[in-house]
């Protein structure tokens, strides 16, 4: 629908591209609408996961859009040589998940996610391009008026898009699953892209990835097939959650999906077809992408299970239980950091701390998919803040400074709230007396 040119500018350099919509008679009728839609959406997007806008004009006599040029196309090249090793797939998928979550937090649904629309910066960050058919929850939808055919790239279109539903952020989760399927197997989820492949995804799930590649681990097949569920409500709520599970395979809850190696039987296909006749795509909550991202928080719980008092540990557990109860789609990482001095004193500290973390988390009754626990060596404050940055953590929960017997925990409770990129909740032991900060006491004495 557009022509793309390499261009340069004295002030911005030579690494630029210009996009000009096709206006000839053979152009799809929604080309101009798509161009105007992309200009409006890109002007409002910010961050490293979208291309920087240099200039834009929606003037019908000379429409053009000038963007920075991002040279990397690692995901596209990997899709051409697929199947690729699991390690490489994960290293490509995690930046893609983070980029997708970033635009969802800005109220945008991409709706045309595919390997050709993903670029990579030199530092490995993924950049999503081509927002012509995207939907912004805060702007008038220019594509609704011209929407007549299924817009998008056929192998990656979600079932609800065929019903012209454009506001569902989990449509991008479906496309993400299709990308992972292609990288893992070298095939599209529903075979050759044609009208039949579009209709089939309304009725039945795709062939299991292990049908093509038996070396795919069950946890990866579970993630891929859940992303490709017909009903949006059965998919993962956010791309950030997918990235979390790719990073922590042990947290993936394995179901029947994980172990399939053959197509469904004829009877199963017939039953699914009859069910599809009465199936209505449920959108249980009419949430904007930003609201859905906020309703699935990633919570980092950090403490020393070997040294905190039993009362404080119980208060911490109750605080986490309240979050889990109030936010049904939340998920948790329990992190404990072991210093080098502790490792030198006791080589078994890592294992003992890991066991203690799991014992503390067990009464919460959360599924493995909602909670993981691990111990890492390093400097506590640095490791906690870095983890929060890398995994886009929404909230950190830690113990109060004055009630911890651990010296490093007292330092952490002071520094983490200052350096963390998210909300920090400090938990006190229940019914514990209030303790004054030393600096405030000195001021009062003066």
Mind listing the pLDDT tens digit for each residue in 15-62? 899 999 887 777 766 778 888 889 999 998 999 999 999 988 877 678
pLDDT bracket for residue 445 (50, 70, 90): very low
161 with 131: CB under 8 angstroms?
no
Per-residue confidence (pLDDT) for residue 205, from 0 to 100: 87
Lowest-pLDDT choice from 15-24, 141-150, 216-225, 380-389 = 141-150
Task: Cis check for the bond before 8: say yes or no (omega within 30 of 0).
Answer: no
- Note the pTM of the prediction, 2 decimals: 0.86
Looking at residue 401, what is its pLDDT?
A: 67
Lowest-confidence range among 113-117, 332-336, 401-405? 401-405
Give residue limits of the domains in the chain: 2-68, 74-290, 297-427
The whole-number average pLDDT for the span 96-114 is 95
Burial 363-399 (b: 16+ CB within 10 A, else e): ebebeebbbbbbbeeeebbebbbebbeebbbbbbbbb
Q: Which CATH architecture has domain 74-290?
A: Orthogonal Bundle (1.10)
Output the pLDDT for position 278: 59
Of 249 and 274, the one with more pLDDT: 249
**In percent, how much of the chain has pLDDT > 90?**
48
Report whether 113 contacts 179 (CB < 8 A): yes
Q: Is the pLDDT of residue 103 over 80?
A: yes
> Sorting pLDDT into bands at 50, 70 and 90, what band is 379?
confident
How big is the chain by its Cα radius of gyration, in Å?
A: 25
Q: Do domains 2-68 and 74-290 have the same CATH topology?
A: no
Distances (CA, A) of 84 to 115, 277, 393: 14, 37, 29
- Classify the C-alpha dihedral 141-109-45-57 as positive or negative: negative
Cα separation, 7 vs 210, in Å, equals: 45
Residue 236, preceding peptide bond in cis (omega within 30° of 0):
no
Of 16, 44, 20, the closest CA to residue 32 belongs to 20
pLDDT exceeds cutoff 60 at 333: yes
- The pLDDT value recorded for residue 243 is 95
Question: Which of the pair, 259 or 445, is modelled with greater confidence?
Answer: 259
Region 147-162: mean pLDDT is 78
pLDDT, the chain, mean: 85
130-154 residue pLDDT tens:
999 999 988 877 776 544 455 678 8
Query: In the CATH hierarchy, which fold is given to the domain comprising 297-427?
Result: Rossmann fold (3.40.50)
Q: Write down the pLDDT at residue 446.
A: 40
CA atoms of 58 and 37, how far apart (whole Å): 10
Two structure tokens written together for 252: 């993936």
The Cα 93–Cα 69 span in angstroms is: 21
Choices 1.10.8, 1.10.287, 3.30.200, 2.30.30: CATH for 2-68: 3.30.200
Interval 1-10 mean pLDDT: 89
């Amino acid at each position: 629908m557009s022509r793309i040119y390499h261009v340069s500018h004295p002030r911005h350099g030579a690494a630029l591209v210009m996009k000009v919509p096709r206006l000839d008679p053979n152009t799809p009728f929604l080309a101009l609408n798509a161009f105007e839609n992309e200009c409006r959406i890109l002007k409002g997007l910010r961050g490293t996961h979208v291309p920087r806008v240099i200039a834009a004009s929606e003037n019908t006599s000379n429409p053009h859009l000038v963007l920075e040029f991002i040279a990397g196309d690692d995901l596209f090249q990997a899709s051409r040589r697929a199947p690729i090793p699991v390690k490489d797939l994960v290293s490509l998928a995690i930046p893609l998940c983070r980029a997708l979550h970033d635009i969802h937090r800005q109220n945008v649904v991409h709706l045309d996610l595919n390997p050709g629309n993903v670029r990579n910066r030199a530092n490995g960050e993924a950049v999503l391009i081509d927002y012509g058919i995207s939907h912004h929850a805060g702007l008038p939808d220019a594509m609704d008026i011209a929407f007549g055919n299924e817009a998008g790239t056929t192998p990656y279109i979600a079932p609800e898009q065929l019903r012209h539903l454009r506001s569902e952020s989990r449509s991008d989760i479906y496309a993400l699953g299709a990308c992972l399927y292609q990288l893992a197997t070298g095939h599209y989820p529903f075979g050759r892209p044609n009208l039949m492949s579009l209709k089939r995804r309304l009725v039945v799930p795709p062939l299991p990835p292990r049908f093509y590649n038996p070396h795919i681990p069950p946890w990866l097949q579970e993630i891929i097939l859940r992303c490709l569920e017909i009903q949006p409500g059965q998919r993962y709520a956010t791309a950030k959650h997918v990235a979390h599970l790719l990073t922590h395979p042990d947290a993936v809850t394995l179901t029947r999906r994980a172990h399939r190696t053959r197509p469904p039987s004829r009877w199963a296909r017939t039953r699914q077809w009859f069910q599809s006749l009465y199936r209505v795509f449920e959108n249980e909550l009419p949430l904007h992408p930003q609201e859905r991202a906020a309703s699935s928080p990633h919570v980092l719980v950090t403490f020393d299970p070997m040294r905190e008092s039993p009362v404080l540990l119980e208060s911490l557990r109750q605080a986490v239980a309240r979050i889990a109860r109030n936010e049904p789609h939340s998920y948790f990482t329990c992190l404990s950091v072991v210093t080098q001095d502790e490792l030198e004193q006791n080589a078994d500290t890592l294992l003992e701390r890991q066991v203690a973390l799991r014992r503390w988390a067990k009464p919460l009754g959360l599924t493995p998919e909602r909670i993981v626990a691990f111990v890492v060596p390093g400097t506590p404050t640095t490791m906690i803040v870095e983890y929060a940055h890398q995994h886009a953590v929404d909230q950190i929960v830690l113990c109060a400074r004055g009630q911890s017997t651990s010296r490093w925990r007292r330092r952490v409770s002071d520094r983490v709230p200052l350096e963390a990129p998210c909300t920090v909740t400090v938990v006190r032991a229940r019914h514990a007396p209030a303790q004054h900060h030393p600096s405030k006491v000195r001021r009062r004495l003066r």
